[in-house]
Structure 1
């Protein structure tokens, strides 16, 4: 179900008049031209444009996908590794998680943005440039947007950790389970899976 058309009120060009400039970070995001090789998100009212992930970073996201393939197949769910925009319900801010699990009928905001309240899980892989956003800014953003489970893979922590956040209420995840990378952690419903985080242990290069 498409909730609304994604509007691009203006296209930024060298000739853009100051009076035509977007007023909000969301409007600026909508006005961006195609940015090959870059990803754009709005976090805490900041438009963040960053390079696409390194191979090491992408590998960790794909390891999550690989671990979930039997479950995805059994339940008919979709999964996306770093190539889909998510619209946070409420403020309508766009983010691009490193990994997303969604039902095939997940509602959308416009053509390409999945609505956060329809997702089953998001995952972020922490890198030096994204550490504060992934660890601090994004959990309340996803919780407020109705995402039931967030998985945080943190290969740059000392020691490396994997954290599962769930039970979202009033913009905060009430349950936070953190384990050392290499341990098993429970991902609660709607996923319902014991994840052996040893799958990440051979990929702890700086993402």
Structure 2
């Protein structure tokens, strides 16, 4: 494992939150590993994948909801801020929350890759570390670039200890506390 190198954040979390509040609707900002990042606006297939996953979560775990594009506090050591494409949590999780929710009750974070140059670093490296550092038990990455699904789990010391990667079309078990199996065949037609 490569040791982490500490670098100074570009700004304080308070400065980031102020910047994010005033950003135009066409721009989605995140603050991960001490850097401000622009998250691309989603396309139709991306949104359809989230809708497909919401339906499956509701069928298998009706007491939960997959909240889309929710502001989350991640990376406890840096006070990071991310907007996962989805977070699975108990229904009612958002009551009383402001713009940024703590990850305490989140069972799973979900990202669907966008077709942009930063997706490799953001979704495959920085987000797993941020979500693990926040203690989110499961991170589901739907990778449209290489048509695969990756499930990360067992967060410990800011990293996920276990990762399983399967191609679109395979069935993949979402481990506890999520606890159901995804048939990823429908993702084949949504890869673009």
Range class of TM-score, shorter chain: 0.7 to 0.9
Task: After TM superposition, give the deviation of residue 202 of structure 1 in Å.
Answer: 1.2
Q: Partner residue of 2:81? A: 94
Q: Partner residue of 2:153? A: 166
| 1:117 pairs with one of 71, 84, 104 | 104
| 1:47 pairs with one of 9, 26, 36 | 36
Q: Partner residue of 2:164? A: 177
TM-score, scaled relative to structure 1: 0.79
Kept in 2, the 8 Å contact 1:108–1:114? The answer is no
Which ranges of structure 2 fall in alignment gaps of 5 or more residues? 1-9
Q: Deviations over 1:90-117 (max 9, x none)?
A: 2321100011111246488951222123
Determine if the alignment matches structure 1 residue 60 to structure 2 residue 49: yes
Equivalenced residue count is 179
Task: After TM superposition, give the deviation of residue 195 of structure 1 in Å.
Answer: 0.6
Kept in 2, the 8 Å contact 1:109–1:115? The answer is no
User: Where do 1:1-207 residues align within 5 Å?
Assistant: 24-32=11-19, 33-73=22-62, 76-82=63-69, 84-88=70-74, 90=76, 91-104=78-91, 106=93, 111-129=98-116, 130-157=119-146, 160-205=147-192
- Range with bigger deviation, 189-198 or 101-110: 101-110
d(CA) in 1 for partners of 2:96, 2:73 = 6
SS across alignment from 1:142: helix
Which ranges of structure 1 fall in alignment gaps of 5 or more residues? 1-22
